[in-house]
């Protein structure tokens, strides 16, 4: 039989319960920051696909202000654990004059959120704030900072709760480190 590469193993890092608690806190803080959001002028949530899809679904349900949901897809980690150095963006956003909240799963080198911020700014929203579940400050290469951060994490490759390695492990209900 040919030797096959062993499958990397997820090592639990942040439990589903700890994530849920933090998401509730973030939802409350973000809701307080948009007292002017109304049914006529809702907060324009922009979730970054694919990695933020679970976080965005949970965070939106923790918001108590009127909001809409749009998606932008951003891809730079084709396979493996390092950024390709270029970000493919795909979107059809309607954000002109609106207060925008970008929901990201992780800010690592900072390149993805930098490119998304530039693309959105060109569409002339009233304001842009960034919310990320995970922030990996030790890996930062590009100038990028988030307004709302769930967890500051060490410079390790993380998976689960929507976040993948080679399209795997998004289904985990918890966050894990990739070992092996």
Ligand X SMILES: O=P(O)(O)OC[C@H]1O[C@H](OP(=O)(O)OP(=O)(O)O)[C@H](O)[C@@H]1O
SS3 (DSSP) at 123: coil
Nearer to ligand HPA, 56 or 95 (CB): 56
Integer angstrom CA distances of residue 70 from 45, 55, 61, 92, 131: 6, 14, 15, 9, 15
Q: Is 108 a catalytic residue?
A: yes
The values of phi and psi at residue 21, to 5°, are -65, -45
Select which of 108, 147, 155, 164 is catalytic.
108
Site string for ligand HPA, 95-114 (x = CB under 6 A): -----------x-x------
List all residues 6 or more positions away from 113 whose beta carbon is below 8 Å from its beta carbon.
102, 104, 107, 130, 132, 144, 146
**Least CB distance from residue 21 to ligand X, whole Å?**
22
Q: Name the residue among 120, 112, 129 with its Cα closest to residue 43.
A: 129
User: Which of ligand HPA, ligand X, none binds 157 (CB below 5-8 Å, type-dependent)?
Assistant: ligand HPA
Site string for ligand X, 28-67 (x = CB under 6 A): --------------------xxxx----------------
Cα separation, 178 vs 89, in Å, equals 26
Give me the torsion for CA of 84, 123, 64, 129, rounded to 10°.
Answer: 60
Question: In this chain, which of 13, 53, 77, 161 binds ligand HPA, going by CB under 6 A?
Answer: 77
**Least CB distance from residue 173 to ligand HPA, whole Å?**
16
DSSP classification of residue 137:
G
Question: In this chain, which of 103, 158, 175, 176 binds ligand HPA, going by CB under 6 A?
Answer: 158
By the criterion CB under 6 A, which residues form the site for ligand HPA? 77, 106, 108, 157-159, 163
By the criterion CB under 6 A, which residues form the site for ligand X? 48-51, 74-77, 83, 104-112, 164
């Amino acid at each position: 039989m040919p030797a096959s590469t062993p499958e990397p193993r997820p090592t639990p890092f942040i439990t589903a319960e700890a994530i849920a608690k933090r998401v509730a806190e973030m939802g409350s803080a973000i809701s307080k920051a948009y007292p002017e959001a109304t049914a006529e002028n809702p907060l324009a949530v922009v979730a970054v696909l694919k990695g933020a899809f679970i976080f965005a679904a949970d965070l939106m349900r923790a918001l108590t202000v009127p909001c809409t949901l749009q998606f932008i897809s951003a891809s730079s980690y084709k396979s493996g654990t390092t950024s390709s150095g270029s970000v493919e963006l795909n979107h059809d956003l309607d954000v002109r004059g609106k207060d925008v909240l970008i929901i990201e799963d992780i800010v690592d080198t900072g390149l993805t959120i930098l490119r998304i911020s530039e693309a959105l700014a060109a569409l002339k929203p009233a304001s842009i704030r960034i919310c990320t579940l995970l922030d990996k400050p030790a890996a930062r290469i590009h100038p990028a900072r988030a307004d709302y951060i769930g967890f500051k994490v060490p410079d390790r490759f993380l998976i689960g709760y929507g976040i993948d390695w080679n399209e795997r492990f998004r289904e985990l209900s918890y966050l894990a480190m990739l070992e092996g």
